[in-house]
Amino acid sequence: MPPKGKPKRGKTNDTPTNDEDQTTHANEAEDQASVPFIEGIDDQEEDVRANLPSQDHCTWLLNIIRIHAKKMAKEVLQEHENTKLAQLKQEVCDMKKANEQMQNKLVEFQDEISKLKRSRDGINRELAKKTNELEKLKQHMDSIDQKQREQRVRITGITEEDGEDLTKKVVKLAKNKLGVKKINGADIVQIHRSGKKKATKTRDIIVQFENKATRDLFHGARKKLYVKNDGKSSVYINDDLTDFRQKLLYDARMLVRRKKLKAAWAQCGNVMVLMDQGGPHAVYNYQELRIHSGMEYYDDVSNDVTDQLDDYDTGTMSDCTF
């Protein structure tokens, strides 16, 4: 409520003028409005009325507005702080829940990884078992294939000609170079050159005899090729090996070149190796070749030494040891 009544004007020197009173009371009102806010708006209004009995209506109303504004500002600020605090608490709670979920997922992933590892180990064991069985099966099939070749020989170094009669050439070789007079064309069941024809290379001749006895007679006389030529010959007679055994023999001879083995040769369809100590041994796979040669690997011995032996010709087998 605005103050009742108006102050009387005085003209004495001791009494302050109306303007001076208003100025004085306005300053006091401002000082009063600037004091810290206290609870109880009604009490503050009474204080304003008591301290400012002579202020006009506008000044009084302005002080009331200032008091209410401070209160509202404080309430708004407090509400904002409470809202932000509640939001922060909710965010922290959400982060905790998300962290717990991530921890649970991590545990699940670790369990899955453990299961996969166990499954992998089982698969590896099964794979190793199947691989071993497959290698045994391959070795068995290779033995059967080699058994079917026991009546054959492979002849290297006989000149290749157009329209040639291979049977006559082999019979001539047997009679004139090997001294085997009993062999004739009827003893040869099948004869052909191996591989595709090349102008730069003479192909081997594969000869299959009627029986193993005739084959062994022809094969056993091959040493005469070297005796008549002072240990040298351009013609070589060897077992007709399977592709796998042919490569195994080739790699064994590479190891001979590298001084890992003393000698390597084919005998009765088997690959034989001789070490510096001990007698000859038959090898049927690369694992056995690794053991006898002391090599740390056995997958493909030839790839490691091919660059050093570019002049080595696998077709002629000129380093064959008998």
Res 176 pLDDT > 60: yes
Q: Is 163 left (phi over 0), alpha (psi -120 to 50) or beta?
A: left
Calculate the CA 321 to chain-centre distance. 44
How big is the CA angle at 221 (ends 255 and 214), to the nearest 5 degrees?
110
Residue 25 near residue 48, CB atoms below 8 Å: no
**What band does 264 get if pLDDT is binned at 50, 70 and 90?**
very high
| Domain residue spans of the chain | 1-115, 153-240, 242-322
Res 36 pLDDT > 80: no
Residues with Cβ < 8 Å from 51, sequence gap 6 or more?
Answer: 28, 29, 32
Residue 209 near residue 218, CB atoms below 8 Å: yes
Res 9 pLDDT > 60: no
Alpha helices, H only, the chain: 18-34, 41-51, 57-147, 166-172, 212-220, 224-227, 243-257, 286-293, 301-305
- Report d(CA 131, CA 58) in Å as an integer: 104
Residues with Cβ < 8 Å from 156, sequence gap 6 or more?
Answer: 202, 204, 205, 235, 236, 237, 238, 315, 316, 317
- pLDDT per residue over 55-93, tens digit each? 567 787 788 888 888 888 888 888 888 888 888 989 899
Residue 21 near residue 8, CB atoms below 8 Å: no
- pLDDT per residue over 113-133, tens digit each? 999 999 999 999 999 999 999
| Distance in Å from the first CA to the final CA of the chain | 135
- Report d(CA 280, CA 273) in Å as an integer: 6
Q: Which long-range contacts (CB under 8 A, 24 or more apart) does 166-170 make?
A: 166/191, 166/192, 166/193, 166/205, 167/191, 169/205, 170/205, 170/207
Q: Is 100 left (phi over 0), alpha (psi -120 to 50) or beta?
A: alpha
Identify the pLDDT of residue 33: 45
The pair of structure tokens assigned to 316 is 């002629």
Once rounded to an integer, what is the mean pLDDT over residues 192-210?
A: 92
Judged by DSSP in three states, 236 sits in strand
Once rounded to an integer, what is the mean pLDDT over residues 150-168?
A: 93
- Mean pLDDT score across all residues of the chain: 78
Tell me the pTM.
0.56
Lowest mean pLDDT among 143-152, 171-180, 219-228, 288-297: 288-297
Identify the pLDDT of residue 47: 57
**What band does 10 get if pLDDT is binned at 50, 70 and 90?**
very low
What phi and psi values does residue 217 have, to the nearest 5 degrees? -65, -45
What CATH class has 153-240?
alpha beta
Calculate the CA 173 to chain-centre distance. 57
